[in-house]
């Protein structure tokens, strides 16, 4: 299990992305899945930066680990106020242009890209676990 904790700011995104890419490779995840995995970490980290730490700075932590069933999993933690991104309203993806809003699209994408998603509040922490099957099949 590998862990990286950095300040929750946009400048950290690239290091988190490189960390997860290296871990995915070490866990023999099909490289074609990497863009999906990168999108997921980026959407969730951006959410943490914009929402969990809107008024004050803080840290984000990413943990990578294989699950016994063969999935590759990420755990994303922040120390912001309780916030379950999975409970937010789904965006209307069929509204006409003028009624379209961007809010919620990031999580909508995450839900579509991940094979398993779970949120829990652990003391002072928001913990989101995301798992991917290692192949496209």
Whole-angstrom distance, CA of residue 120 vs CA of residue 111: 16
Which residue from 4, 6, 109, 117 is in contact with another protein, where contact means CB under 8 A? 109
Closest distance of CB 35 from another protein, Å: 4
Strand partners, 121: 126
Binding segment toward another protein, per CB under 8 A, in 22-30, 59-67, 75-83, 98-106: 98-106
Smaller CB distance to another protein: residue 108 or 133? 108
| Phi, psi for residue 88 in degrees, rounded to 5 | -75, 150
Which residue from 105, 117, 119, 133 is in contact with another protein, where contact means CB under 8 A? 105
Smaller CB distance to another protein: residue 100 or 116? 100
Q: How many CB atoms lie within 10 A of CB 94?
A: 7
First-to-last alpha carbon distance for the chain, in angstroms, is 25
Strand partners, 130: 74, 117
Number of residues that bind another protein (CB under 8 A): 25
Structure tokens at 57: 């700075």
Q: Using CB under 8 A as the criterion, which residues of the chain lie in contact with another protein when the complex forms?
A: 10, 13-14, 35-36, 38-39, 42-43, 46, 91-98, 100, 102, 105-106, 108-109, 112
């Amino acid at each position: 299990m590998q862990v990286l904790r950095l300040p929750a700011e946009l400048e950290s995104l690239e290091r988190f992305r490189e960390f997860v890419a290296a871990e995915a490779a070490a866990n023999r995840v099909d490289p074609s899945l990497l863009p999906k995995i990168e999108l997921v970490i980026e959407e969730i980290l951006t959410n943490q930066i914009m929402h969990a730490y809107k008024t004050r700075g803080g840290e984000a932590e990413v943990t990578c680990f294989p699950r016994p069933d063969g999935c590759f999993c990420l755990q994303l933690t922040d120390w912001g106020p309780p916030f379950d991104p999975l409970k937010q309203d789904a965006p209307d993806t069929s509204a006409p242009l003028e009624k379209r809003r961007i809010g919620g699209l990031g999580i909508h994408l995450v839900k579509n890209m991940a094979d398993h998603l779970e949120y829990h509040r652990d003391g002072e922490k928001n913990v989101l676990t995301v798992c991917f099957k290692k192949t496209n099949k």
